[in-house]
Amino acid sequence: MEVPVLEGTDDLTLNRGVGHIAGTALFGENGNIGIACHRDGFFRGLKNIRARGRIDLEEPGRIETYVVERLEIAWDN
């Protein structure tokens, strides 16, 4: 699957792509990157991914491979 990674996690952003969670590592930096999306939206293609699954993030000229550490479902009431 291919989807843009945008900055932020507000509804407008998550309706256009997946959102980088503020306070988490940026693409290519050391640390954990956090990406959010409505689970029935762009992430539907990842419905069977589990811990230790791999995700490639690509930008012009490079690809970074990340390993899924954990999955969380957040409810916004």
Residue-range domain boundaries for the chain: 5-67
Structure tokens at 55: 């995700």
* pLDDT, averaged across the chain: 86
Phi first, then psi, for residue 18 (nearest 5°) are -100, 155
Model confidence at 22: pLDDT above 90: yes
Longest dimension (CA), the chain: 40
How far CA 29 is from CA of 8, 11, 26, 38, 45, in Å, comes to 17, 26, 5, 25, 26
| pLDDT category of residue 12 using cuts at 50, 70 and 90 | very high
| pLDDT category of residue 13 using cuts at 50, 70 and 90 | very high
Q: What global pTM score does this model have?
A: 0.72
pLDDT confidence of residue 47: 79
The label of the residue with tokens 């811990």 reads: 51
The label of the residue with tokens 């990406």 reads: 35
* pLDDT, tens digit (0-9, with 9 covering 90-100), for 57-76: 888 898 988 888 887 777 66
Structure tokens at 19: 């959102």
